[in-house]
Amino acid sequence: MAATDTTEKGLESLIVAALTGHIGEAAPEAGVVREPIAPYGGAGYVEGDPADCDRDHAVDLAKLLTFLKATQPNVVEQLGVDADGPKRQQFLARLQGEIAKRGVVDVLRKGIKHGPASVDLFYGTPSPGNAKAAERFAANIFSVTRQLRYSKDDTQLALDLCLFINGLAIATFELKNRLTNRRWKMRFSNTNATATRASYSSSSVVA
């Protein structure tokens, strides 16, 4: 019988496997969003790449742009956010400001206004028989990213896991080994969006 991996990394792998349906899968290439496949069960999540995360604005930029281009291509063109440059940075700054002011849940529910455009950032659960709403809901990207570095200095501090919806951080995990009497902690994102740990978490639940 194979030995049970009781390390923090082992727990991290189990959580990712439960969410994505993949065991021991290498992280995808930067900028690539995989379709969720669930041989291990899974909960409809895809695995993210920490290299895709914009630490200045606390978003998974690849997932955010993939969602916007798939669901609102006219808005992407109108705002000029497809290519890196001042327009994209202005949009990300506006998004960060709205999350700081309203919280990520409200931003996901109601979207934001930027310039002449109204930007949807999440599509809710469809009512039965509503094919268009079902199609929109299916376009949401739920993702989990391992070892997400949030510091920009030589400390290279990282979060064990971070959950995203359409590129917006919603929860983080700090995993500890119970065999050494250390607990794991999950933090729910709320308002902060600066390039520190507070970018990805503000309130916590300890188990």
pLDDT the model gives residue 189? 57
128 secondary structure, DSSP code: T
pLDDT the model gives residue 3? 62
The phi, psi pair for 164, rounded to 5°, reads -130, 150
- CA contacts within 13 A on the Cβ side of 161: 27
pLDDT the model gives residue 39? 47
* Other Cβ atoms closer than 10 A to 155: 8
Q: What is the pLDDT along the chain (207 residues), one digit of tens a residue?
A: 556 666 777 788 888 888 988 765 445 555 555 555 544 457 889 999 999 999 889 899 999 999 999 999 999 999 999 999 999 999 999 999 999 999 999 999 999 999 999 999 999 999 999 999 999 999 999 999 988 877 676 667 778 899 999 999 999 888 776 665 545 455 555 534 333 334 444 333 333
Strands (E) across 102-206 are located at: 112-114, 117-119, 142-149, 158-165, 168-174, 185-188, 203-206
> Which 3 state secondary structure label does DSSP give 150?
coil
Strands 142-149 and 158-165: antiparallel
pLDDT the model gives residue 106? 96
Domain residue ranges in the chain = 8-21+44-206
Q: Evaluate the CA torsion angle 11, 35, 166, 28 in order and state its sign.
A: positive
